[in-house]
Amino acid sequence: MGGRRDPLEWDEVSCEHVITDEWIDFRRSSYRFPDGTVYEPFYTYSRKDFVVVAATDEEGRYICVRQFRQGIGKVTTEFPAGGIEKKDGSDILEAAKRELLEETGYVSDDWRHILTIPENATLADNYAYIFVAESCRRVSDQSLDDTEFLNVVLHTPEEIKCLIDGGDFMQAIHALAFYLSGK
């Protein structure tokens, strides 16, 4: 029945949902290894999938946002990004367009999906949908949620490289998006 089992797979033996709310499902589990031994604890979580937009304006400058990130407790420079509710392909592109517009006031007629990759394959089961949007133009002001405080900044590709190398562009998936966007 179904595909052949990979001999490297583990089996989850038990799972305790430590926190389950609208933001996260955080679990503590035990697993049976390929040699039959059972080991714990392993922590995993589920969160919303999200979009990341590597957007450039008509002069090829990346449209970035500066905002506080509570994980590292610092203000970062990164690309526009945001959580999505549904897994349907067209909805995801719409979510990407909406995030870019709301966070920066920019729109584009030239969108490409370039990669879907887990947020963190070791710990989580949600995915990042990476898009490229080129020749963006500013059509409005920002339209931010109550929990968003972010500034728009424009950077040339060379500046993004320096920010990454200098440790000032700190979202790994966004740095990957930059290199995939081929600038």
Where are the extended beta strands (E) located within 9-104?
11-20, 25-32, 38-46, 50-57, 62-69, 74-78, 81-83
Here the tokens at position 170 are: 């700190």
Among the listed residues 51, 92, 100, 173, the single contact to a second copy using CB under 8 A = 173
DSSP state, 5? P
CB of 77 to a second copy, least distance (A): 11
Nearer to a second copy, 59 or 182 (CB): 182
**Count of residues that bind a second copy according to CB under 8 A:** 64
- Of residues 94-113, those binding a second copy (CB under 8 A): none
Contact between residue 27 and residue 16 where contact means Cβ atoms under 8 Å apart: yes
DSSP state, 147? T
Based on the shown chain and the rule CB under 8 A, indicate whether residue 60 belongs to the binding site for a second copy.
no
Binding mask of the shown chain, residues 22 to 41, with x at each position contacting a second copy by CB under 8 A = -xx-x-xx-x-xxx-x-x-x
Among the listed residues 42, 94, 153, 157, the single contact to a second copy using CB under 8 A = 42
Amino acid in the structure at residue 22: E
Here the tokens at position 107 are: 């729109």
Contact between residue 147 and residue 164 where contact means Cβ atoms under 8 Å apart: no
DSSP state, 124? B
Among the listed residues 20, 89, 110, 123, the single contact to a second copy using CB under 8 A = 123
- Write out the residues near a second copy by the rule CB under 8 A: 6, 8-10, 12, 18-19, 21, 23-24, 26, 28-29, 31, 33-35, 37, 39, 41-45, 66-76, 78, 115-125, 128, 146-147, 149-151, 164-165, 167, 170-173, 175-176, 179-180
